[in-house]
């Protein structure tokens, strides 16, 4: 499932949360598909169940999963995940643009950079 770096500086629950979010966004977990239980993941990754629970709790707060009492956690629908992630990335982009402007990057340089990256990613 997920590869966790126990020696790295990033907390395990954050690594796990990011991996699971990536799996949901990329469609590894389909909308409304049951996620592995806390116990299953904890056992499979040799991680404390509280760590898994924290990652799940944050994913639920962020809208990537939902919990049905007595049934488990499930991946949120594609549209919910899509909109949530788009909003997060737009916010991060706004902050990055502000910081680059503060550091002296001109509007034309920024627009050129965005066009270049967009073209490279789209083929």
Which pLDDT score, from 0 to 100, does residue 3 have?
A: 72
In the block, which residue shows the tokens 């966004």? 25
pLDDT in tens, 47-84: 999 999 999 999 999 889 999 999 999 999 877 777 87
DSSP tally for the chain: helices H, then strands E: 5, 2
- Which pLDDT band holds residue 13 (cuts at 50, 70, 90)? very high
One domain, residues 55 and 35: yes
Number of domains in the chain: 2
Residue 6 lies in a domain: no
pLDDT value at 120 more than 70: no
In this prediction the pTM is 0.69
What does the block give as tokens for 117?
Answer: 């990256």
Domain range for residue 113?
A: 79-122
Q: Quote the mean pLDDT of the chain.
A: 89
pLDDT value at 121 more than 60: no
């Amino acid at each position: 499932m997920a590869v966790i770096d126990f020696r790295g500086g990033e907390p395990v629950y954050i690594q796990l949360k990011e991996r699971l979010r990536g799996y949901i966004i990329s469609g590894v977990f389909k909308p409304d598909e049951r996620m592995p239980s806390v116990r299953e993941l904890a056992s499979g990754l040799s991680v404390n169940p509280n760590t898994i629970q924290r990652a799940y709790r944050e994913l639920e707060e962020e809208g990537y999963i939902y919990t049905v009492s007595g049934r488990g956690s499930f991946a949120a629908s594609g549209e919910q995940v899509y909109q949530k992630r788009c909003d997060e990335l737009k916010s991060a982009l706004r902050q990055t643009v502000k910081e680059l402007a503060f550091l002296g990057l001109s509007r034309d340089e920024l627009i050129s950079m965005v066009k270049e990256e967009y073209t490279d990613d789209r083929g």
